[in-house]
Amino acid sequence: MVQTQVDSGLVSKIDSWRAQLDAHTCDIVAWHFDPATGCPFWLSYAEKLDWDPHREIQSFDDLRKFEPFQDEWLRGGPVRRWVPKAFTNDPVFVFETGGSTGVPKSRINVNDFRTDYELFSQTLSDTDFPRHADWLMLGPSGPRRLRLAVEHLCQHRGGICFCVDMDPRWVVRLIKSGRMDLMHEYKDHVINQALTLLRAHDNIQCLFATPKLLEALCDRVSLVKMGIKGVFCGGTQLTRQFHRFAREELLEEKIAFCPTYGNTLMGLACHKPFDPADDHCVIYHPPCPRAMIEVVKPDEIDTLADYGEVGRVRLTTLTKEFFMPGFLERDEALRLPPCEKYPWDGVGDVRPFSGFATPVVEGVY
Amino acid sequence: MLHIPILRQGVPYKSVESVELVHHATGKPMAEVSQANSGMIVRDVGRMPDDVLESFTVRELFEMCRKAANLFMTASLPIGDQQQSFKDYVNQLSAGTGMPITYCRNNAGKIHRVMDDIEVVVGGLTRGFDVGILDKGFGRHNGGTLSYFRDGRIFGAVLPSNSPGVHSLWIPAIVLKAPIVLKPGREEPWTPYRIIQSLMAAGVPKEAFGFYPTDHAGAGELLRVTDRSMMFGDTSTTRPYENNRNVEIHGPGFSKILLDDDASENWEPFVDLMVASIETNGGRSCINASAIWTPKNGRRIADAVAKQLAKRNALPAVDPNATLAAFANPLVADRISEVIDHGLREVDAIDLTEQFRGSPRLVKKGRIAYLLPTVVWCPDREHPLANREFLFPYASVVECPTDQMPHAIGKSLIVSAITSDESFQKSLMACSNIDRLNFGPIPTYKISWDQPHEGNLFEHLYRQRAFQNEPSA
């Protein structure tokens, strides 16, 4: 049974983190609305406001004074309006979201992806994801952050990362047009490349794979026999049953399984360490204070759902490179209480938001 | 609460995700059904022993199937960690789906008949050659050598919830030695689960059975990874598989009764046959008539049929006189009724049953809904309601000259042509749109099991090969 009550023993820890989050929020707002450091988008936005973010944003909750962040603001150019003045002379990456709903959203990046994954690296055990082990990254690259991020994670831990690309936009197109044979042929093509690499490089001990590709890979080979010790899995929805199936069968209860929830806009949410009491609910906690995930009532977006209740996911990103207050994600989730390791809200059973009239093609990779 | 597990090579598995089945009328939870993730189906099918039934002869499997027929109707069989009597089964099936108890019992009888007469059914599929040929791989038939091999190593089925009788269609796969992987309809896990349990209790190895309640994605994977399969569904569900020879499609039937010139003049004796063909089994099956085509007297025939069907009432499923199934999801009934109303806005078509009854076809009682039998008179055969099939007793009555009927009726699973006109008969015999053709006053639902329609399961699973055998010494 998933815990849905706040542990009273955590109150002081929660309060301490909340204070850090509030202070961090003030710093980030000050940075983005300062002409010396901020980006053209927010500086121009502030000019149209009849209130002063510097003065009126004194806590994380004050961010509700902003209208919800519109995803349309990230679709199309000019992308440079998002580059903070402080980073004008730095090399800038641009990463895109999946592109399953028209023009993809773009987010600029300088170092955030490296920082996010270095922080994530601290949550990995050296036994399950050994230092100096090589990795295989089996998932989308192209305009996405994922490939560079996983490669950086691997390098940060002293390894070398082998990569096999999978283009999810092509997969979506094949599915939408009903060409399932081609879709499976493409998947086989991806898996064959992965198998070739795994067979040729003995030091590959860690794997990133999307859920579908992990299943497809494990249909062909035992990862235990291939010497894999840890699997980092994400990119699409992970159901409870998939979670159990992956741990018990695909990975034969011998390989560490590390599910994550992340995207280009927010960064990377880590999972709460596996606890049988959670009934295989995959529970994620955001990288606070760099990003927060809130679960809000779908019809009342400024009200948090109760713990244990399903609501719509709202993301807030608070880094010096990117400020995104109150973005309503295309997902819904259970709101779950803080835990010892992550004394701030978590989310469980993340899945596509059921309130949309037209279902989005999801989970293709 | 009762739990219906996944069966992985016959071994129960409780998933961490389940779907709750509720009583159609009270909404009270009845059972939770474990849901398989699609990856599990792919993995299990790949590991299933496809030769597990090869250690038996077909005749031994016939015997097990006959024994299972009896167990299906009489035994207490496992369901999850409980036992289910036949009475429990009928009650659960009716409560979960809204189908009348009598309808559930009649359909169970159909399943029993197929299992008990399995030798005749398989004889119809194989056209009567010695089934020992399937054990040995070759043999003599009609003076020549005949050889077959089983191409369908694992057989899959994506099953419906609307009519338990359809489960009789996949049962022969077991005696033809193909292990099976089933995805039950969301509201109807009861029948396939009980058939599997009766076959296992009769001695068929548990390794030959997979039972995977799952979602749409899981169904797609099941059809992809099994060597041969059958699927049930509406046109939009089955369309992607139209050109896939590995998948045998069971879609809407658009079954019809045709009258020739003589029968259309002397139609009164056939009204009961038309009514029964429309309404038997709650009118939910592809073998129910959904149209009556006649060269003359269309309106009078439609009036007579409608007058009889207008007498039917929405009765609780437990009422022995109930003939209509309830819609556990009233929105489905709403939508169907709206489609018909929309069609009636076009010129000329009339819902005659509603006129005779004096009340609407859509009836709501508590949390459920019923659709009362509906007969629509369509003078124009191109009318949008002229060739439709719905999940309740519905039929259109259409006028069309007999010489145009074979081309005009479109795809029709069953045609009962009331005619002794040889020329009309000949033109129907030549018509490629008809799967099962009856001449004479035969109800559309009356099926002879020794003559398969909508595909031949034996031909789906086996391939004939050229074979010569010369003793070496």
Please name the helix (run of DSSP H) or strand (run of DSSP E) that holds residue B209, with its range, or none: strand B209-211
Kindly indicate the confidence band of residue B182, based on its pLDDT and cuts at 50, 70 and 90: very high
In whole angstroms, what is the distance from residue A346 CA to residue B206 CA? 43
Q: Which residue has the tokens 């027929």?
A: B69
pLDDT exceeds 80 at position A309:
yes
pLDDT over 80 at A363, yes or no: no
**Is B277 within 8 Å of B288 (Cβ atoms)?**
yes
Residues from chain B that touch A184, judged by Cβ atoms under 8 A, are 224
Confidence of residue A362 (pLDDT cuts 50, 70, 90): very low
What's the pLDDT score for residue A3? 78
The better pLDDT of the pair B145, B448 is held by B145
Higher pLDDT, B226 or B164: B226
Residue of A nearest to B36 (CA): A241
Contacts of A142-146 with C-beta under 8 Å, sequence gap 24+, read A142/A167, A143/A94, A143/A95, A143/A96, A143/A99, A143/A104, A144/A95, A144/A96, A144/A98, A144/A264, A145/A93, A145/A95, A145/A109, A145/A113, A145/A264, A146/A208, A146/A235
Contact criterion met (CB < 8 Å) for B39 and A215: yes
Q: Give the separation between CA A156 and CA A114, rounded to whole angstroms.
A: 9
- A56 has a pLDDT exceeding 80: yes
Residue B452's pLDDT is 67
Cβ contacts (< 8 Å) between B46 and chain A: which residues? 219
Q: Is the Cβ–Cβ distance between A345 and A337 less than 8 Å?
A: yes
Q: Using an 8 Å CB-CB cutoff, list chain B residues near A245.
A: 37, 39-40
* Most B CBs within 10 Å, among A241, A278, A282, to test the B interface: A241
CB within 8 Å: B43 and A215? yes
Please state which of the four CATH numbers 3.40.50.2000, 3.30.9.10, 3.40.605.10, 3.30.70.360 is assigned to the domain occupying B2-251+454-464. 3.40.605.10
Please enumerate residues of B whose Cβ is less than 8 A from a Cβ of A. 15-17, 35-37, 39-40, 42-43, 46, 217, 220, 224, 240
Q: How many angstroms away from the CA of A3 is the closest CA of chain B?
A: 16
| Domain B255-439 architecture | 3-Layer(aba) Sandwich (3.40)
Q: Could you state, in order of their start, the residue ranges of all structural domains in chain B?
A: 2-251+454-464, 255-439
Kindly determine whether residue A250 and residue B240, on different chains, have CB atoms separated by under 8 Å. no
Beta bridge partner(s), residue B371: B362
The pLDDT, as a whole number, for residue A364 is 46
Chain B residues in contact with A180 by the CB 8 A cut-off are 220, 224, 240
Averaging pLDDT over each range in B139-143, B164-168, B293-297, which range is the top one? B293-297
B16 vs A184, A215, A240: nearest CB: A240
Among B35, B37, B46, select the one facing A219 at the smallest CB separation: B46
Contact B40 A240 (CB under 8 A): no
- Residue A241 C-alpha, separation from nearest chain B C-alpha, in angstroms: 5
If you measure CA to CA, which chain B residue comes closest to A281? B16
Nearest residue of B to residue A363, measured between CA atoms: B217
Query: For residue B5, is pLDDT > 90?
Result: yes
- Give per-residue pLDDT as tens, B214-253: 999 999 999 999 999 999 988 888 888 888 999 999 988 9
Q: Give the per-residue pLDDT at B399.
A: 95
Asked whether the beta carbons of residue B43 and residue A180 sit closer than 8 angstroms, the reply is no
pLDDT given at position B267: 96
The nearest CA of chain A is from the CA of B8 a distance in Å of: 13
Selection from A271-280, B72-81, B248-257, B452-461 with the highest mean pLDDT: B72-81
What mean pLDDT comes out for the span A41-56?
95
The torsion of the CA quartet A154, A159, A162, A165, rounded to 10 degrees, works out to: 10
Confidence at residue A360, expressed as pLDDT on a 0 to 100 scale: 47
On chain A, the residues whose CB falls within 8 A of the CB of B15 are: 241, 244
ipTM of the assembly?
0.87
| pLDDT at residue A99 tops 80 | no
Q: How many CA atoms lie within 13 A of A50 on its CB side?
A: 0
**Residue A357 pLDDT exceeds 60:** no
Identify whether the C-beta of residue A104 lies closer than 8 Å to the C-beta of residue A98.
yes
Q: Which residues from A are below 8 Å from B35, CB to CB?
A: 241
Q: Which residues of A touch B45 (CB under 8 A)?
A: none
Question: Quick one: what percent of chain B has pLDDT higher than 70?
Answer: 99
B55: three-class secondary structure by DSSP: coil
Strand bridging mode B180-183 / B209-211: parallel
Task: Provide, as residue numbers in chain A, all residues whose Cβ is less than 8 Å from the Cβ of B221.
Answer: none
Buried b or exposed e, range A105-144, using 16+ CB within 10 angstroms: bbbbbbbbbbbbbeebeebbeeebbbeebbbbbbbbbebb
Which pLDDT score, from 0 to 100, does residue A136 have? 98
Confidence check: pLDDT of A9 > 70: yes
Distance from the A223 Cα atom to the nearest Cα atom in chain B, whole angstroms: 14
Give the mean pLDDT of A152-164: 98
Instruction: For residues B238 and B392, give the distance between their C-alpha atoms in angstroms, rounded to a whole number.
Output: 20
Which site among A186, A191, A221, A245 would you substitute to test the B interface, given the most B Cβ atoms closer than 10 Å to its Cβ?
A: A245
The arithmetic mean of pLDDT across residues A222-236, rounded, is 94
Greatest alpha-carbon pair distance for chain B in Å reads 84
The closest alpha carbon to B133, from B470, B467, B471, belongs to B467
Report the range of poorest mean pLDDT among A5-14, A27-36, A187-196, B316-325: A5-14
Give the one of A184, A219, A240 whose C-beta lies nearest to B43's C-beta. Answer: A219
Give B31→chain A minimum CA distance, Å. 19
Question: CA A41 to CA A82: how far, in whole Å?
Answer: 6
- Chain B residues close to A250, C-beta within 8 Å: 39, 43
Residue from the list A178, A184, A363 with its beta carbon closest to the beta carbon of B224:
A184
Q: Is the pLDDT of residue A100 over 70?
A: no
Q: What is the mean pLDDT of residues A4-19?
A: 89
- Look over chain B and give the mean of its residue pLDDT values, rounded to a whole number: 94
Note the pLDDT of residue A101.
61
Which pLDDT tens digit goes with each residue over B360-397? 999 999 999 999 999 999 988 999 999 999 999 999 99
d(CA B360, CA B353) in angstroms, rounded, equals 9
Pairing of strands A256-259, A230-233: parallel
Q: Is residue B214 a contact partner of residue B183, using CB atoms and an 8 Å limit?
A: yes
Average pLDDT over residues A88-96: 95
Torsion of CA A23, A26, A28, A34, to 10 degrees: -150
The CA distance from A131 to A267, in Å, is 23
- Contact across the interface for B16 and A244, Cβ inside 8 Å: yes
Amino acid letter, B213: P
Fill in the amino acid letter for B178.
Answer: A
Query: Is A249 within 8 Å of B43 when comparing Cβ atoms?
Result: yes
Contact call for B16 and A215, based on CB within 8 A: no
* pLDDT number for residue B453: 67
Closest-CA distance, A261 to chain B, in angstroms, reads 20
Q: Are B42 and A219 within 8 A, CB to CB? A: yes
Chain B hits for A219, CB-CB cut-off 8 Å, are 42-43, 46
Of A180, A219, A239, the CB nearest to B37: A239
Whether B39 sits inside 8 A of A244 (CB atoms) is no
pLDDT of residue B238: 87
Shortest alpha-carbon distance between residue B248 and chain A (Å): 17
Helix/strand/coil for A270: strand
The string of pLDDT tens digits covering residues B61-107 is: 999 999 999 999 999 999 999 999 999 999 999 999 999 999 999 99
